[in-house]
Structure 1
Amino acid sequence: MSNPAIITVAPTGPIATKTDNPTLPTTPTEIADAVEAAYHAGASVAHIHLRDENQRPTADLTIGRQVMDAIAERCPILIQMSTGVGMAVSFEERERLVELRPSMATLNPCSMSFGMGEFRNPPAAVERLAAKMRDLGIQPELEIYDSGHLDACLRLRDKGLLPERLQFSIVLGVQGGMAATPTNLLTMVNRLPSEAIWQIIAIGRPNLELTAIGLALGGNARAGLEDTLYLAKGELSDGSTPLVERTVRLVRDLGRQVASVEQAHQELVPLGHPALS
């Protein structure tokens, strides 16, 4: 398989705290250090969630700028800012994060149950954010948790709010979305537009198995403490780096190459991207 595999590191996420795993990074310096270590291990994209001084999810632009600047000082990894943030943060606050002009940002197309909470993404607000990302030249990463989310993305594309070549994250294992099974992954991959770029995000225990299947199918992969706190059963991962290293081994064992930042940029970020000019 000749196409290089793009590995994204997701070091923090919106839910876990240091009580769950003491190595979870929450401050700007901790997040930047974790991203730098993952970059040297083989990650070419960093998926960023922000936390305040109390470890709570935040869309504070000052913290966002601190994190982005700290990462840029350490390594050239591509930054993908999460606009999902956390369920207690309003959509209006979350969408402002694109004003930081990262190379990429997430776009969640639909509202949904998320564990015991509600992840609100109202249709009109999603269209507004998609238009803002289009106008700023920020590449959207479309996070789809269920089959209908794909159809919502295709409608946004048909309205001219998304680029023709779509970039998807297939998220499996969130309570309220699709279960993390090989069958569900195959179903979603088979429904994607033929030219789409995609990665697998498997939450919790099925992380290793589903990541391996996704890579074998030619997709990209995400690794980090956002998706699983454990390296093996009963063994907390010492940060995200061991999870990235495990994913790198999977890529190479499958006969694929690990994409460099330059290769990931060429694949994911449109030419002339104003955020990089």
Structure 2
Amino acid sequence: MALTPNREVFITCAVTGSGDTTGRSDKVPVTPQQIAESSIAAAKAGAAIAHIHVRDPETGKGSRDPALYREVVERIRDSGVDMVLNLTAGMGGDLVLGSTDAPFPVDPSGTDMVGATERLVHIAELRPEICTLDCGTMNFGEGDYVMTNTPAMLKEMGRQIQALGVRPEIEIFDTGHLLLAKWLKAQGVIDDPVMVQLCMGIPWGAPDDINTLKAIVDNLPDGWTFSAFSIGRNQLPYAALAMLAGGNIRVGLEDNIWLDKGVLATNEALVERAASVVTTLGGRLLGPEEVRRKLSLEKRW
């Protein structure tokens, strides 16, 4: 894929994630009502897509409870504010080993490993336009947590997502994950147009330097649509870099809680900042209906 600037850009807002950010910022939405309201505010600020996790309202920790997803989706759909819904399917692949000397039994407080069908229960029920497919296994943090997605699991999840008529967003955290994405396409479980998200700067995945981004973009097949983001302080610079590399933009409190040094962000403010980058660089923001046409999505509501 040639690396040329993208002049027609859509923004995805990753609204809350599942990481331990709620203790560092009171702006991170936790309850279904807060997540829905923050998604709506992000859409009004210019985000065409809302990427949604849910959290346990009592603890603030990430959850995969279908009832929580249902409440968020119903609140958004009832609001009348149009946006493309992108629900995560990444939960349920969490492996935390017991210790360096005794990896088994695993740590039950952090391990959540379930099968493909259970990971997709909320997708089957709610039928969003998009759901994520984390295309690989990698280490996270400095402990014993491993994000676990085997080729067999990915193939089965891809098959089920395809059968549901939902568009997978392939999450690429490292260079080898792109090879898995290409393999899944060759297996026939991903339909055109293929959509990928380049998740940069996450230890211990692909670093967010320009050369690594270019190497991945150069190896994307022609016709694949991509977005890219980095975490923390590099999230907003990456809004410009992703656009200049020919892609689309992701911002949001899942990946970064700061707007400026010492200033906590809201999702709305991050989207507004990213939207200003697009227009300042001579681009145009795509709305949700234009994104549906671009990605061959079927509006569900």
Alignment partner of 2:214: what SS? helix
Cα offset for 1:136?
0.7
Alignment partner of 1:171: what SS? strand
User: What one-letter code is carried by the residue in structure 1 that aligns with 2:166?
Assistant: I
Q: 1:17 aligns to what?
A: 21
Q: 1:58 aligns to what?
A: 63
**Contact between 2:6 and 2:245, CA under 8 Å: does it hold in 1?**
no
Cα deviation code 1:131-182 (max 9, x no counterpart): 0010011000000011110010111101100013310100101111011111
Quick one: which of 126, 134, 148 aligns to 2:154? 126
Q: 1:60-75, aligned counterparts within 5 Å?
A: 60-74=65-79, 75=81
Quick one: which of 245, 257, 277 aligns to 2:272? 245
Q: 1:84-123, aligned counterparts within 5 Å?
A: 84-85=90-91, 87=94, 88-92=111-115, 93-99=118-124, 100-115=126-141, 116=143, 117-123=145-151
2:86 matches 1:80: yes
Q: Distance in 2 between matches of 1:67 and 1:248?
A: 25
Q: 1:254 aligns to what?
A: 281
Q: 1:269 aligns to what?
A: 296
Normalising by structure 2, we get a TM-score of 0.87
Quick one: which of 212, 215, 219 aligns to 2:243? 215
Q: 1:202 aligns to what?
A: 230
Q: Distance in 2 between matches of 1:105 and 1:91?
A: 17
Quick one: which of 207, 218, 221 aligns to 1:190? 218
Normalising by structure 1, we get a TM-score of 0.94
Cα offset for 1:2?
7.0
Structure 1: gaps (5+ residues): none
User: What one-letter code is carried by the residue in structure 2 that aligns with 1:255?
Assistant: G
**Contact between 2:86 and 2:130, CA under 8 Å: does it hold in 1?**
yes
**Contact between 2:51 and 2:86, CA under 8 Å: does it hold in 1?**
yes
Q: 1:32 aligns to what?
A: 36
Q: 2:197 aligns to what?
A: 169
Q: Distance in 2 between matches of 1:223 and 1:163?
A: 26
Pick closer, same or farther for the CA change 1:206–1:119 going to 2, 3 Å: same
**Contact between 1:104 and 1:269, CA under 8 Å: does it hold in 2?**
no
What fraction of aligned residue pairs are identical, expressed as a percent?
31
Structure 2: gaps (5+ residues): 95-110
Shifted more, 221-230 versus 203-212: the winner is 203-212
Larger Rg: 2
Cα offset for 1:21?
0.6
> Aligned Cα RMSD in Å?
1.6
Q: 2:108 aligns to what?
A: none
Q: 1:154 aligns to what?
A: 182
Q: Report the count of equivalent residues.
A: 273
> Which of structure 1's runs of 4+ aligned residues deviate more than 2 A?
85-97
Cα deviation code 1:7-35 (max 9, x no counterpart): 01111011033321101001110001101
**Contact between 1:82 and 1:106, CA under 8 Å: does it hold in 2?**
yes
